[in-house]
Structure 1
C-alpha cells in the first residue's frame, strides 16, 4: 500500500455562493446515501486559472451562468484537507491524499429558478440555502475543519453583507 503522506494534494477550486438573504448554497452529494452536503467545488485543470475553474465548476454543478454571480472575495491562502485513511486509494483512483483548494466568495444575482442541478456533470441530488453558521454541521466530518477555515476567511465579507441588509433603525451606527 502507498504511504498516503507521499501522495500529492489535488488542486481544486471551491465556491461559497451567498444569496440576497445572506444564506449559502449547499448541495447534497449524489454519490452517497449519507447526509453529505457541500458547497460547489472541483478540480482545477492543468493550465487553468483557479478563478476560471471556480466559475466553470459552479456552472457544471449548479447550472448557474457567470452573469448571475459577482465575485466578492478570494480566500488569501490555499486551504487543505486530507481524506480519511479508509478513503485513500478509493477516491480519485488513488492519485491524491486530499485537496488543496482556492476558495472564492460570490454573490448570487439570479433567482432560484436560475439554479439547475440536473447538469451534464451532475453532482448533487438536492440543494438548499443554508445559514453560514450551519455549514460545519452539514458537511462530512473530515471536511469540517476546512469549512471552519473557509468561514473564517470570508467572515468579514459575510458580516459586512449582513450589516448592509439590516434596516437602518437596527444598525449600530
Structure 2
C-alpha cells in the first residue's frame, strides 16, 4: 500500500549505489531512453531502511550482504510531478514524492547485479558513471532533488575532499554530515 501524506507526497526511497572506484550505478528504465537511480515507494508497514533494502533487491538483485550503508539524507527531499503526470482520479491524489536517499557502497561483485530478479524488472541496462552526472541527465523534474541528495551525501562519498575544504576554511573538527546509520523512523 502506498503511503501518501496529507500534502500529496508519496513516501519513497532513493538509492545511490557506488563502487570502489567512486562511480555510481545508473539504471536504464525498461523500454525507455530514461536513466535513473534505483528508487521506490515505502509501504505502510516499512521503515525507509527496510524499503531501501527491498527496492535494492527488486531493482538490482542485490541483497544487504552485497552493500555497505554509508549514510542517508537527514530529511525527506521532495519533488513535484509535472501536472500532466498527476493522476487526479486516484485517491488520495499524489502530486509528487518525498524521498529519503541512501548512499551504499557495493561490496559484492558486479556479477551479483541481476536486473531481472523480479517478474517485472525496472531496468534493462546499467552502467557505472561519475558522481555528478545524474544531476544533469535524470528527467528534468527530478534534477533538483538529485542535486540536493548528491550535495548532502558528497562528504560521505569523498571524505578527503571535505577534510581538505575544512582545513582551508580553518574549521576544526569533523565535517558535516557525519557518517551514521540510517534513521529507521518515517
Q: Where on the TM-score scale, by shorter chain, does this alignment land: which range?
A: 0.7 to 0.9
Cα RMSD between the aligned structures? 2.2
Structure 1 unaligned regions, length at least 5: 1-5, 164-173
Q: Alignment partner of 2:155: what SS? A: helix
4+ runs deviating over 3 angstroms: 90-95
Deviations 1:68-125 (A, max 9, x none): 1111011111100111111111898883111001111111001110001012141011
Tell me how far apart the structure 2 counterparts of residues 74 and 68 of structure 1 sit (CA, whole Å): 17
Which residues in structure 2 correspond to 1:130-141 (within 5 Å)? Answer: 130-141=129-140
Q: Is the 8 A contact 1:63 1:117 kept in 2?
A: yes
Distance between the aligned counterparts of 2:161 and 2:62, measured in 1? 23
Q: Which one has the bigger helix percentage?
A: 1
Deviation at 1:161, TM superposition (A): 6.8
Change (3 A) 1:66 1:80: same
In the alignment, the residues of structure 2 paired with residue 91 and residue 43 of structure 1 have an alpha-carbon distance, to the nearest angstrom, of: 20
Aligned partner of 1:152 in structure 2 is 151
Listed as ranges, the matches of 1:107-126 within 5 Å are: 107-120=105-118, 121-126=120-125
Q: Report the alpha carbon displacement of residue 36 of structure 1 after superposing the two structures with TM.
A: 1.3
Query: Does residue 80 of structure 1 match 2:78?
Result: yes
Q: Distance in 2 between matches of 1:7 and 1:46?
A: 17
SS in structure 2 at match of 1:89: coil
Q: TM-score, normalised by structure 1?
A: 0.83
Q: Which residue of 2 aligns with 1:166?
A: none
